[in-house]
Amino acid sequence: MSYSDHFSIANLPYGIASTTTGAHRESAVVTRLEDKVVFLADLTLDVSDQAAAAFSQPTLNSLAALSKSELQQIREKLRSALSDSSVVEKHGFKLEDVVLHLPIAVAGFTDFSCSKEHVLNAGEAVFGKRNLPPGFLHYPVGYAGTSSTVVVSGTPVQRPNGVYRAGETIEYGASRAMDYELEFAAIIGKPTKMGDSVKLEDADDHIFGLVLLNDWSARDIQGLEMVPLGPMNGKSFATSISPWVVTLDALEPFATKAPAKEYPVSVFLHEKKENPSYDIKLEAEIIRDGKSTKICTANVSWMYWTFRDLVVQKTINGCNLNTGDILATGTVSGVGDDEHGCLLELTKGGRVEITLADGAKSTYLQDGDGIRMTANCGGGVGFGDCTGFLTPARPL
C-alpha cells in the first residue's frame, strides 16, 4: 500500500531519498505529493544559500536546523511550486523508483512514558497491579534510548540474544518474547545550549516534525534488567521510524486538546495553549505469512503528556537539545481491548493468545513476522507507514 491519500498538497513532509541511476544517486532531501517523490534541489524555489545547501545533504539535519520562519517560507514556496501539476510531472519520481533512507542523523534518542493506559496495562501484565509510577502525574517520566540503532521503516530487525529468566533458571539465548511498541516521536530542529531550559510556550519552535516509531522490545531480556536502571539490552538492538517527517505546520489543522490533568503540575508544565495535542489516528497490524491482522487502533491525542511537555521536561535540568534528537512518547494505548499498543498488553504478558486473520493463535512475534504501523489525520495529511520484519537471531 502506498498511502497516497496521506500525502496531499496539504502535507508536504520531508524525507531523504536516492535513485539507483541518474542524477540522484546521492541521498538528498525530498518531499512527497501523492505517489510522486520530488527532490527539492530540482525545483527553483528562491531560497537562501543555506537552505539550498541543506537540500543536497544526505540527512534532514541541516534543513531542520533552519529557523521556523524560514522553514515556513520554504513550505509556502514548495506548496506553490508543486501546485503546478506540470512541475510535479517534470520532477516527480515514482515512489517505487526511489530508495527512502533514515531521514535524520539521530543525535540523542529519549523515550518517555506519555500514555496512562499503557502504563496501567503494562503494570498489570508484569506485576499484576494497575499502579502509576511515582512520577507519572508530575511530569513525563523518560529514559535515554540508544540512538545508534534507529533505522528507517523497511529495515529488517534481528531477534536479539540476551539473558533472561526461563522459569526458575536464568538462561542465555535468543529472546522468546519479541514485542513491538506503537509510538510517536518529535524530531528536534532548533537546538539549545547546555544549561538552558525551554519554556512551554516556546516548545513548538524546537520541533521540526513528527514521525511514527516502533520501539522493538524483547520482554524477557527487559524483564531481568529493568530493576533498578531501566531498559537497555531489551530495547537497544533496534528502533524503527517512518521515512517521512510531517511538520507541525501540516498538523496544525488537526491540533486538539490533551486530556485534563488529574493532579496539579509544577509551573513549568502549566499549558496555556488550548490545543496542545494532535488528532492523529494510529493503527498497528501484525503480518504473518503474507496475511495482515489489525491488532491496535489508537490516537495521539489520548496521551496524558504532549510533545511540548517532552521538550520542556528534557531541558528543565539544563540538558541541551540537539538537531536530530528524537523525543518519543512511549507506547500509545487506549482503554479498549483493541487499543493496546504492544503485545505485552494485548497478550497480558504472553499468557493470553490472540487470534490472527487466518485463525492461528499467537502471543509474541515469530521470526518472519512483520509489524506495520500507520498514522493518519485525514484531510490529506498522514504519515504513511512504519514497517519492519523480524529475522532470526544470530547463532550463539
Cα–Cα distance between 109 and 213 in angstroms, integer?
A: 11
The residue range among 29-37, 199-207, 225-233, 254-262 that interacts with a copy of itself, by the rule CB under 8 A, is 225-233
Amino acid at 227: V
Q: Does 232 bind a copy of itself (CB under 8 A)?
A: yes
142, 278, 304, 367 from 310: Cα distances, Å:
9, 14, 11, 34
The continuous run of DSSP H or E covering 116 comes out as helix 116-127
Q: Does 160 bind a copy of itself (CB under 8 A)?
A: yes
Residue from the set 87, 319, 357, 360 that interacts with a copy of itself by CB under 8 A: 319
Least Å distance, CB 323 to a copy of itself, is 11
Among 6, 118, 206, 340, which one carries the catalytic annotation? Answer: 118
Residue from the set 148, 260, 274, 359 that interacts with a copy of itself by CB under 8 A: 148
Residue from the set 158, 275, 292, 297 that interacts with a copy of itself by CB under 8 A: 158
Q: Does 241 bind a copy of itself (CB under 8 A)?
A: no
Please identify, using beta-carbon distances, which residue of 43 and 65 lies nearer to a copy of itself: 65
235 is in an annotated binding site: yes
**Is 118 annotated as catalytic?**
yes
How is 290-312 classified by DSSP, letter by letter?
A: TEEEEEEEEEGGG-SS-HHHHHH
111 is in an annotated binding site: yes
The C-alpha cell at 334 is 487506549
- Number of neighbours of residue 65 by Cβ within 10 angstroms: 18
261 is in an annotated binding site: no
181 is in an annotated binding site: yes
Q: Does 389 bind a copy of itself (CB under 8 A)?
A: no
The CB-side HSE value for 135 (13 A sphere, CA atoms) comes to 10
Q: Determine the 3-state secondary structure of 360 from DSSP.
A: coil
Query: CB neighbours of 344 closer than 8 A, spacing ≥ 6?
Result: 122, 125, 126, 179, 217, 219, 350
Cα–Cα distance between 136 and 115 in angstroms, integer?
A: 9
Q: Is 175:302 a contact under the CB 8 Å cutoff? A: no
The residue range among 28-36, 90-98, 163-171, 300-308 that interacts with a copy of itself, by the rule CB under 8 A, is 163-171
Residue from the set 229, 272, 337, 361 that interacts with a copy of itself by CB under 8 A: 229
The residue count of the chain comes to 396
Q: Does 138 bind a copy of itself (CB under 8 A)?
A: yes
Q: Is 27:101 a contact under the CB 8 Å cutoff? A: yes
Q: Is 15:24 a contact under the CB 8 Å cutoff? A: no
**By CB under 8 A, how many residues form the interface with a copy of itself?**
61
The residue range among 18-26, 79-87, 155-163, 377-385 that interacts with a copy of itself, by the rule CB under 8 A, is 155-163
Q: Does 176 bind a copy of itself (CB under 8 A)?
A: no
Residue from the set 143, 256, 287, 292 that interacts with a copy of itself by CB under 8 A: 143
Residue from the set 12, 182, 238, 303 that interacts with a copy of itself by CB under 8 A: 238
Q: Does 105 bind a copy of itself (CB under 8 A)?
A: no
Q: Is 123:131 a contact under the CB 8 Å cutoff? A: yes
Least Å distance, CB 361 to a copy of itself, is 28
Q: Does 45 bind a copy of itself (CB under 8 A)?
A: no
Please identify, using beta-carbon distances, which residue of 80 and 391 lies nearer to a copy of itself: 391
Q: Does 87 bind a copy of itself (CB under 8 A)?
A: no
- Number of neighbours of residue 393 by Cβ within 10 angstroms: 18
Query: CB neighbours of 19 closer than 8 A, spacing ≥ 6?
Result: 25, 93, 97, 98, 99
β-pair partners for 388: 371
- Number of neighbours of residue 164 by Cβ within 10 angstroms: 24
117 is in an annotated binding site: no
Q: Does 317 bind a copy of itself (CB under 8 A)?
A: yes
Please identify, using beta-carbon distances, which residue of 212 and 238 lies nearer to a copy of itself: 238
Nearest residue to 16 via CA among 47, 35, 37: 37
Least Å distance, CB 331 to a copy of itself, is 12
User: Residue positions in the annotated binding site for substrate?
Assistant: 222, 331
Residues lying near a copy of itself in the complex (CB under 8 A): 107-108, 110, 113, 133-135, 138-139, 141-149, 151, 158, 160-163, 170-172, 194-197, 218, 221, 224-234, 236-238, 266-268, 313-314, 316-320, 322, 325, 394, 396
Question: Could you give the residue numbers annotated as active site?
Answer: 118
